[in-house]
Structure 1
Amino acid sequence: MMTPDGRIRVMEIIARMNVGGPATQVMGLYKGLNSDEFDHRLYTGYVDGAEGDHFQLRGATPQVHRIPGLGRSVRPTHDSRALLQLISAMREFRPHIVHTRTAKAGALGRTAARLAGVGSARVHVFHGHVLEGYFSPSKRRLYIWAERRLASMTDRLVTVGAKVRDDLIAAGIGRPEQYVVIPPGVRLGRIPDREEARTALDLPLDAPVVAFVGRLARVKRPDRFLATASAVLRRLPTCRFVVCGGGELKEELERGIADMWGSFRLLGWRHDVETVYAAADVVLMTSDSEGTPLTLIEAGMAGTPVVSTRVGSIPEIVRHGSTGLLAGLDADELAEHTLRLLSDPAFARRMGESARHWTSDSFGVERLVADTEALYRSVSAAPGPQLTPGSTT
C-alpha cells in the first residue's frame, strides 16, 4: 500500500491548531517523520479568537490544507461542508492512512474516510481524559454513544496514557486489541538560567515563584489555582505567581486577583515557554481532568518540580515524591505541597533534577516519531479497508 515513489500517504486531520498538546504533537511529527518513507499532509480548520494560534505563536509556516468549518464550534451546515471537502480531498490524495485527532475531527474524518471509499486505514488519537471534566452527563452519554460507533470503523485507537486507555475501554469504546498507547513527545528550546529568565519576565531575583502554564478554561480550574495561590500567600506573602496562557476565563481570572494584583504576572501566550519554566521554583497544575499534559513534561525537562492534581494519566508523568508532588482536588493540599517545595530549595532541586532525567528519557520527540512511524507501518501493511487490529502496546 505505497505510492509509486514508495511512500506511505498519510492524511492527518485535526480540528484546529490552537496552542496545546495536540498541536505540539502534530508539529513534532510534521518535522520528524521520514519524508523518504511517508507523504504526510496536514488538514485543519481555523483557531477561534479566544485561543492562541500555534502557528502564529511558534512562527511556524508548514504547508497546511485548510478545511473551513473544521474548527471548534459544532454547526451542522458548516460541519456538512467540511465533511464534503474532506471526502473530496481523500479522493484526490487517496491516503493509505487517515489519522484523526480531537473529537470533531475524529468524527468527520473517520466518517469521510468511510464514505470516500478509498480503502484507507483509520487511526484516531484521544489526547485528553475526555470522559471527565468536559461534558455534562447528557453530553457525556452522547459522546460515548458516538465514540462507540466510530470505534467500530477505526483500525487503531491511540491514547496518550494507559489510564486514558483503560477508562475508554471501561466505557465500552472500542476493544482492547484496537488500542495503542503512544505518550507525548516534546523538545524544548534553549533553557535560560534563572537570573536571565527572571529578568526577562520582570520578576524579583530573590522571591519564590510559582508558574501556571496552560489554557484558562473551566477544566483547568483557574479558580482552584487562585484558591491555592491565596492559601500560599497567607503563609508566604513574598511569593509571586506567573500565569502563562489565555482563554475564555481570562477576564474571570483578572477579577479574581484584584486583591492580590501585586503578587501576579499575567503573561498571555508566549513562544518562549522555556523562560517561564526556568524562572519558576514550582509549576502548579490544578485541573479536574487531564491526559498526559505537556506542561508537566516540559517543566520536568527544564528541571522544575511540579505540584499537580492526581487526575488522568498525570501519575504516568509525575512520580510522586521523586519528580513532583501530587494531590487530590483540594486547594489546601495543593498549597501544602507547594509550600513544602518553596521552603526546602535543596529538596526542590533534587526533585527537579530527577524530573529532568525522567522526562528527557521517556518523553522525547524522537521517541514519539519512532512510535508513530511503527504504527503507520503496521496499519499500512495489513490488507483491506478494515484492517485486523494488532496487539496493544
Structure 2
Amino acid sequence: MKTAVLHVAFNPVTGPWSVIKTLAMAQEESGEYAGVGIGLITDTRWPGDYEVQWDALPLHRYRERMGGAPYHVQYVRMCLRRPPVAEWADALARETGAGRVVVHFHNAWVSGMFFPLGKAAVEIIPVVTYHGVNADFRGQPVRGMFHRWLAGRVVAGGGRLTSVDAENLNRAESVLGMKREWFSVIPNGAPAVSGRSGPALRGGGGLVVGHVGHLSDHKGWRIAFEAVERVRASGRDVRMVVAGGGPDAGEVAALAGRHGEWFRYLGHVSDPQGAVMPELDVMAMMSFQEGLPMSLIEAFSVGLPVLATNAGGIREVLEDGVNGMLLGRSAEALAGALIRICDERGLLRRLSDGALGSFERSYDVRRIAEQYHEFYGESQSGSTA
C-alpha cells in the first residue's frame, strides 16, 4: 500500500517552519512516498514573507486562515470545531493514489487541539513531534491544567511521539505528565549548502559574531552585545550582526543606529542559512532554555561554530572545543571565548571544520528523513507507544 505524508501545524515560525519545509522537501525528493504535503492553519501573526515561501513550495498544500485572537483563544476554538485535517488527508490520498497518510503534527503537545481527528476515508497514522518544551505553569494552575489536557488528547488520539532531543523528555514528563518511554528521539536536520562561513578565515578582516533568532531576553542577545562591547574595548577587531524579530526588535534597531560602525541589525530574515550565516565567523547562542535549535544545525551546515550555553538540547549536539564552545550564561564568559578565538591561531579553523563535520555525519536532513521513514514504518506496524 502506498503511503503519503502530510505535515500539519498551526502558525509555524522560525525553527519549526524551517524544519517542516526542509523535512517535507527531503521526503519528496527521496521518492519513498506517493506524495508529500503541508497543511497549515495560520492567523494574522504569520509573517508575510512566509507567504512567498509557501507559494513556491512544490508540494501538495492545504491552508485555512483565522483571525488574530490570543493564542489560548485560538486553541480553544480549534478544540471546539474540528480542524480540516481529515479532509486534507483524504485530498492528499486522492491526488497521490495513497492508501494511507502519515499526518505529522509539529505543535508538540498543543497539537492536542487537532485531536480527535475527524473521520477520513483514508487510513491515518498520526505522528507528533516535540520541538521544545519551554512551558512552565508554576503559579498558573488553570493554564497548566488546560495544557496537560491538550497533551492527553494527543495520547488518547493515538499520536506516535517524537522529540528533537532527549532533554525535552525530562520537561515533558515533569510539566505535562508524559512518560519518557512514549517518545523516540529524532533530531532536526538542515539541507546541505555549498556556502561556507568565515569571512575572517577568508581574509575578510576582524571577527564577525552573529545572533540569529528570536529577539527576547531569554534568548540572550543582550549578553552577546555586551560581550562584543567588552572585546572591542580590549582593542580587538570584532563586529556583530543580528537577524531576527521579536519583542526586543526596536531596542536592537536603536542600538544599530548608535553603533553602526560595528553593529548591524538585519531584521527578520527568511533564509538565515543562506543569507546570513555564511557572512559570520561564530554564532552566539546565550539562551536560557532551548530544545534543539534549528539555527544551530543550520550553522553547522556552513561550518559556523556556535558559542552557546548548555541549555536544553544544545549540549546533546555541541561538543566543547570541537564544533563550538559551551559557556556560562554571561557576557564575561562569552567575551573570554571570543578573545581566545581572536588570539589563538588556528582555533577558528578547527572549530569551523568540526562544525561542518558534525553536520555531515549526523544532521543532514536526508539522514533525518531516513530516520523518520523508519519511524513511520514502525508506527504502521504498531510497534511504538
TM-score (norm 1): 0.81
Task: Indicate the residue corresponding to 1:37 in structure 2.
Answer: 33
1:272-351 aligned within 5 A: 273-351=273-351
In the alignment, is the contact (CA less than 8 A) between 1:184 and 1:368 conserved in 2?
Answer: yes
Correspondences of 1:148-297 after superposition (within 5 Å): 148-191=152-195, 194=198, 205-236=204-235, 238-268=237-267, 269=269, 271=271, 273-297=273-297
Q: Deviations over 1:337-361 (max 9, x none)?
A: 2222222241121121122112211
> Can you list the C-alpha shifts for 1:71-121, whole angstroms capped at 9, x where unaligned?
884434853686343354456667543321115861222x141x5377633
**What is the alpha-carbon root mean square deviation over aligned residues?**
3.3
Determine whether 1:106 maps to 2:106. Answer: no
Counterparts of 2:206 and 2:295, CA distance in 1: 22
Which residue of structure 2 lines up, in the alignment, with residue 3 of structure 1?
none
**What amino acid maps onto 1:294 in structure 2?**
M
Relative to structure 1, the CA distance from residue 263 to residue 178 in structure 2 (aligned partners, 3 Å threshold; closer, same or farther) is same
Once the 2 structures are TM-superposed, how far is the Cα of residue 252 of structure 1 from its aligned partner? 2.1
* Contact 2:50-2:270 within 8 A present in 1 as well: no
Aligned CA distance change for structure 1 residues 316 and 105 (closer, same or farther; 3 Å): same
CA gap 1:11/1:305 in 2 versus in 1, 3 angstroms = closer
Deviation, 1:54, is: 4.1
Q: CA deviation at 1:131?
A: 3.3
Paired residue type of 1:187 = P
Amino acid across the alignment from 1:61: L
| SS in structure 2 of the partner of residue 45 of structure 1 | strand
Q: Distance in 1 between matches of 2:148 and 2:101?
A: 27
Q: What's the secondary structure of 2:84's corresponding residue?
A: helix
**Post-superposition shift, 1:153?**
2.9
Q: Does 1:116 align with 2:119?
A: yes
The residue that corresponds to 2:65 in the other structure is 68
SS at the partner of 1:121? strand
Q: Where do 4+ consecutive residues of structure 1 move more than 6 Å?
A: none
Cα distance in structure 1, aligned partners of 2:86 and 2:67: 13
Query: Structure 1: how far apart are the matches of 2:147 and 2:330?
Result: 28
**Superposed displacement of residue 57, structure 1:** 5.5
Name the residue aligned to 1:375. Answer: 375
| Inter-partner Cα distance in structure 2 for 1:209 and 1:220 | 19
Structure 1 unaligned regions, length at least 5: 1-5, 199-203, 383-387
- Structure-2 change in CA distance of 1:57 and 1:327 (3 Å): farther
**Equivalent residue letter for 2:206:** A
Deviates more, 1:366-375 or 1:86-95: 86-95
Determine whether 1:26 maps to 2:20: yes
SS at match of 2:173: helix
If the length of structure 2 is used for normalisation, what is the TM-score? 0.83
Distance in 2, Cα, partners of 1:305 & 1:184: 17
Deviation of 1:370 after TM superposition, in Å, equals: 0.5
Match of 2:9 in 1: 14
Distance 1:193 1:127 in 2: 26
Residue type of the alignment partner of 1:173: G
The aligned amino acid for 1:75 is: V
Aligned counterparts of 2:45 and 2:153: Cα–Cα separation in 1 = 32
Aligned residues: 370
Q: Distance in 2 between matches of 1:70 and 1:389?
A: 37
**Structure 2 gap segments, 5+ residues each:** 94-99
Taking structure 1 as reference, are residues 38 and 58 closer, same or farther at Cα in structure 2, changes over 3 Å only? closer
Give identity over the alignment, percent. Answer: 22
Q: Residues 192-243 of structure 1: CA distance to partner in whole angstroms, max 9, x if unpaired?
A: 5755999xxxxx9312211111122444233333333333332246311011
C-alpha deviations, 1:144-182, integer Å up to 9, x for none?
A: 453245334334211001111233134353233321100
- For residue 16 of structure 2, what is the amino acid of its counterpart? P
Letter of the 2:73 partner, please give it. Answer: R
| Distance in 1 between residues matched to 2:330 and 2:145, nearest whole Å | 27
CA separation of 1:224 and 1:83: change in aligned 2, threshold 3 A? farther
Task: Tell me: CA distance 1:136–1:206, structure 2 relative to 1, closer, same or farther (3 Å).
Answer: farther
Q: Is the 8 A contact 2:108 2:132 kept in 1?
A: no
